[in-house]
Each structure stands twice: as structure tokens, then as C-alpha cells.
Amino acid sequence: MVQSCPEASPMKWHQAHTTWFFETFVLQPFLADYKAFHEDFRWLFNSYYHSLGEPVPDKRHRASFFRPSLAQVLAFREHVDRAMEPLLEGSMGDEAVRLSILGLNHEQQHQELMLTDIKHAFFSNPLHPAYDAFPLVEDLDVSPSKLGWHELGGGLVEIGHSSDFEAPSDFCFDNETPRHKVHLEPFQIASRDVTCREYIDFMLDGGYSRAQLWLSDGWDTVRNQAWQAPLYWERYATDETGWRVFTLRGWHPLSALLDTPVCHVSYFEADAFARWRSCRLPTEAEWEVAASGREVRGNLLDSGRLHPAEAKGPGVQQLFGDCWQWTASAYAAYPGYKPLSRPLSEYNGKFMSSQMILRGGSCATPAGHIRPTYRKFYGPATRWQFTGIRLASSKGMHK
């Protein structure tokens, strides 16, 4: 039942909501004579689908759902699993298949959210328990990669997913479509994510006290929230850096993680850091062009590390995994975008306001869930996700 910040949800709610998704969008429309597990669950575990009826108005109240019990939620899951079996074993139509695959991808999103919510809950607990007590270990036989720059020529390029939703095996979310042309000027993109070592230099140079580095809303947020460092950094006198970092594997001195990507920074912090380095953040089109054609591999959930790792070796790295990378692009519809039919039109399209795009996945993202066209979106002050920084510059701007 723990819910330590407004963005998070209790684990019991995640379990019930992902189950509700299959019951609401797959079983009730496509399985004859299906009987709902509990009529009140239809609205209680509805996240934001207003066309299905009014959900609980304030998600911050989810921690007060001491009923239904965990046993009832698990029984709900078992009920839905049993009902899905004959549907899956039978002759499913294309629409039922598509919605089932959407449900699986929705569940993968919640797997990632559960880890980020657990991390915040454990950090908020004065005992600071570890999700996994096994310590983080870096490969000391290979030196961390130095920051380099990869040049791309720009021109007329295509971005977005080519799926028309007719091939269920070629899944994407509706906001990744349609594929369309974009003109890019020549640009450079950094070879890896910004590290904690580089970010602490920004801090030591007064990064959090220099208003000229910050967007107006960002500067207001820094002052109102009293930010002095990324989320999960805490002053620690016995470490040479003066800081320690809370991870899903417990506390670690910052000196042991200096060459790992800085994470849990907001868009405002990422933008201010880029400005301090006389660079900028990449647009989402630039990021996608840099990532297109590359194999999806990296420090994703399947690695089991559960924290960003050092970049090793040559070339452009860390495009997938480690940290979601903020881009300079606001979350908006692609030209010609058509949302899914109601009520699933509310899945992505209704949030195309006051959000920024992130790309690439994180150390908590399932490897089978991410792709070069995937668009994540959060408000610019968000820090509880594994969010990091990749720099870019216009050609000739960086030397």
C-alpha cells in the first residue's frame, strides 16, 4: 500500500490495474459470457479512462485503498488469468490479438514503474532498505569511455514507426505513428550519457545557483524545491566527493559511481547542464536518426543490474538502457496522427500537452519493450524515473 510520492502508485494497485486492463479491454468485449470479478473494480482500478466512467479523482489517494485486500487482488488476477486461457487457446480475431499485445506492453510499462516506485518508497523510508543488497561492481579491467562526438549530416529523414496496426506482431504504440519526413540540419551527438563525474563539476561551478543557466520555470522549481543535486544524492562527509547515492542496491559512495551516467535529473536540470557545457539536448528526431538501424542492446532490466553502468569501448553507446534521455522536443502528435478508437484513444493522445519527450529506455526497462521509435513523456520537473542526459550540438558549435 506504500505510495511515497504523487507520481507513484502502491504495488497492490499496479497489480490490480494491469489485471483490470485485460478484463476491461480484452475479456469483456471478446469472451462470451464473461463475468466480471467485482463490479466495483471497474471504476476503482480505472486510471484515467473517463469514457469508461469517472475514475477515483485523485491518484494520490491510492495508498488509502486498504480494501480490497491483497488476497482479493491476487484472486482477481487468478480469475482473469483463467478466463484468458480459453480465449488464447481459441480462434482469436485480429482485434483481440492486438489488444492482448497492447495489454502485455502496458504490463511491461508497469513493471518498470513498479521498480521506480519501489526505489522512491525505500528511499523515503528512514531505514533505507535495499531492493537487492548485492553491491554494484564495475569492470575495472576496461577504462570508462571518454566523451566523443558523432557527426550526422542531416537532410530529409524519416522518423516514426511504419506500423499501420494491421500486423499484431509488429507492435508499436499509436503515438509512434505515422512515419513521416523531417528536415534536420547537420548535427553532432555525444557518444555516451553524461556521467556523475561531469555533473558534479556542474554542481561545483555553481550550477544550481546561476539563474542564467535555467529556463524560467526551471529556476522557479529549483528555488521552490531547494534542489542542490539529483534526486537520491545525499551529502556524505566520509566520501571524497561529499556525496552518496541511493540505488535499488542500497547506498553507495558517489566516488564508486563517478563514471556511471547521472540519473534522476529533470528536464530542467538536463537543459541547464547542456547550457553550462555550451551544448544542447538533442531533438527527438536527431536522437532517433542516431539510433536507427542499431541493435537494441544495453544495460536494460534483463541485465539485472538495476542501476546505470559505465560506458565501455568505442563508438556511440548507451542509446538503449541505463537512463531515459531527455530530448529538447515537446510531446506532440506527429503529422497525420490518428489515436486508437475510444476508449483507448485516451492511452497516449490526451497527454500531448506540457510534457517533454525522452528516448532510449533505462536499466529498469524490459529489453523486449524498447525500440528506436519509442516515445516516453514526462513533465519537465520529473525526477523519480531513471532519467539522464545525452548532449548534442549543431555542427560547428562544439569543438
Judged by DSSP in three states, 224 sits in helix
Judged by DSSP in three states, 399 sits in coil
CA angle 155-157-163, nearest 5°? Answer: 175
Q: What domains sit in the chain, N to C, each tagged with a CATH number?
A: 11-124 (no CATH), 149-394 (3.90.1580.10)
**Do 222 and 202 contact (CB within 8 A), yes or no?**
no
> What does residue 336 show for φ and ψ, rounded to 5 degrees?
85, 10
Give the pLDDT confidence score for residue 166 in this predicted structure.
53
Judged by DSSP in three states, 97 sits in helix
Neighbours of 311 (CB within 10 A): 23
Give the pLDDT confidence score for residue 165 in this predicted structure.
54
pLDDT tens, position by position, for the chain (399 residues)? 898 998 999 999 999 999 999 999 999 999 989 999 999 999 888 888 877 877 776 777 787 778 899 999 999 999 999 999 999 998 888 889 999 999 999 999 999 999 999 999 999 999 999 999 888 887 777 889 999 999 999 999 999 998 765 555 688 999 999 999 999 999 999 999 999 999 999 999 999 999 999 999 999 999 999 999 999 999 999 999 999 999 999 999 999 999 999 999 999 999 999 999 999 999 999 999 999 999 999 999 999 999 999 999 899 999 999 999 999 999 999 999 988 887 787 788 888 889 999 999 999 999 999 999 999 999 999 999 999 999 999 975 554
Residue 235, all three cell numbers: 551529502
Judged by DSSP in three states, 31 sits in coil
Give the pLDDT confidence score for residue 53 in this predicted structure.
78
Burial class (CB in 10 A: 0-12, 13-18, 19+), 308: buried
Give the pLDDT confidence score for residue 55 in this predicted structure.
75
**Do 308 and 322 contact (CB within 8 A), yes or no?**
yes
Give the pLDDT confidence score for residue 149 in this predicted structure.
96
**Do 376 and 357 contact (CB within 8 A), yes or no?**
yes
DSSP at 307: S
Give the pLDDT confidence score for residue 172 in this predicted structure.
92
CA–CA distance, 333 with 348 (Å, rounded to integer): 10
Give the pLDDT confidence score for residue 351 in this predicted structure.
84
